């Protein structure tokens, strides 16, 4: 995702970009394909950038992000800026911003949605941090974001990104965004599962394409569903049902519980992901055992039993 962001900035603007990755081959590939300047370390990256610097990091949330921020804090100078475009927890953003402020370094949290399609269509970016720092980063955000549609232009302006408040606000909005995404994905998955078991010989790709023609459930996710059925077949037989989660759904539910907000759809969609990994296997065996005990219902022995 970071490589595609570099490519979009270099393709659509004249901004200077220095790119770093722990994998030297990736640095070489990105530099050759985009025209960005490569760096072999964070230290070299900082040296190649003119002050005041803006360093945008796209690494996994938690330890990797914190380690990167800590290293950069020792390399950057007063007036420089760190932007975390990953999926950090918003409470971590608050702590980082406070710590970096003492060193005179600005910190922005930018929840970034768009995935592998961002290079082509742009990234939806949810920004948190001080307004003056956001204003300085705005030219980069304008390049990365898509143009807004006519309905939203009077609220967002010409480009599809938004500033939502102080440090943590950007990733907070992105956190709930991902929780909603869980629920939408689960609803589509369950609907097409019904089609798969239907008495009719239904074409799932055709249905997904049709639903995007003015239907109330049309969406980009539905477009991706159509693409998935075209690529993987009507029954998706070549795919495993294992589905990971990156943490935002859990954090959304935790915050909702703390605020007494009911989230049955988001909660159920996260639980469904747990089941997809085989984590409910004992639960299902226990259900079968209890049903057999109280009702004498037949059970099926496992391969090991």
Q: Which residues are catalytic?
A: 174, 181
CB count in 10 Å sphere of residue 146: 15
Comparing CA positions, the residue from 302, 126, 274, 96 lying closest to residue 186 is 274
User: Rounded to 10 degrees, what is the CA torsion of 122, 175, 188, 261?
Assistant: -140
Residue 231 and residue 226: Cα distance in Å, rounded?
9
- Please list, in sequence order, all residues whose beta carbon lies within 8 angstroms of the beta carbon of residue 14, skipping any fewer than 6 positions away: none
Q: Which residues pair with 132 in a beta bridge?
A: none
- Please list, in sequence order, all residues whose beta carbon lies within 8 angstroms of the beta carbon of residue 50, skipping any fewer than 6 positions away: 16
* Sheet architecture: strand order including 81-84: 54-57, 81-84, 106-113, 124-128, 161-163
């Amino acid at each position: 995702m970071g490589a595609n962001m570099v490519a979009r900035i270099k393709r659509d603007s004249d901004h200077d970009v220095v790119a770093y990755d722990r994998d030297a081959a990736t640095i070489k590939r990105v530099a050759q394909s985009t025209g960005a300047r490569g760096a072999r370390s964070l230290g070299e990256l900082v040296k190649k950038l003119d002050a005041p610097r803006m360093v945008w990091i796209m690494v996994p949330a938690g330890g990797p992000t914190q380690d990167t921020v800590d290293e950069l804090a020792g390399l950057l100078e007063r007036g420089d800026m760190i932007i975390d475009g990953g999926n950090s927890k918003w409470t971590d953003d608050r702590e980082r911003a406070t710590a970096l402020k003492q060193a005179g370094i600005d910190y922005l949290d930018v929840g970034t949605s768009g995935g592998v399609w961002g290079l082509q269509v742009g990234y939806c970016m949810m920004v948190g941090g001080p307004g003056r720092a956001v204003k300085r980063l705005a030219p980069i955000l304008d390049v990365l974001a898509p143009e807004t549609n006519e309905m939203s232009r009077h609220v967002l302006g010409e480009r599809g990104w938004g500033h939502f408040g102080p440090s943590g606000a950007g990733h907070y909005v992105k956190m709930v965004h991902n929780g909603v995404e869980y629920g939408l994905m689960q609803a589509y998955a369950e609907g097409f599962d019904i089609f798969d078991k239907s008495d009719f010989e239904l074409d799932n790709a055709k249905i997904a394409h049709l639903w995007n023609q003015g239907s109330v459930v049309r969406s980009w996710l539905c477009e991706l569903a159509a693409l998935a059925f075209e690529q993987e077949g009507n029954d998706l037989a070549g795919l495993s049902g294992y589905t990971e989660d990156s943490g935002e759904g859990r954090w959304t539910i935790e915050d909702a519980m703390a605020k007494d907000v009911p989230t049955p759809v988001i909660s159920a969609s996260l639980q469904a992901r747990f089941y997809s990994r085989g984590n409910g296997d004992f639960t299902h065996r226990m259900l079968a055992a209890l049903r057999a005990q109280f009702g004498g219902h037949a059970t099926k022995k496992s391969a090991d039993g």
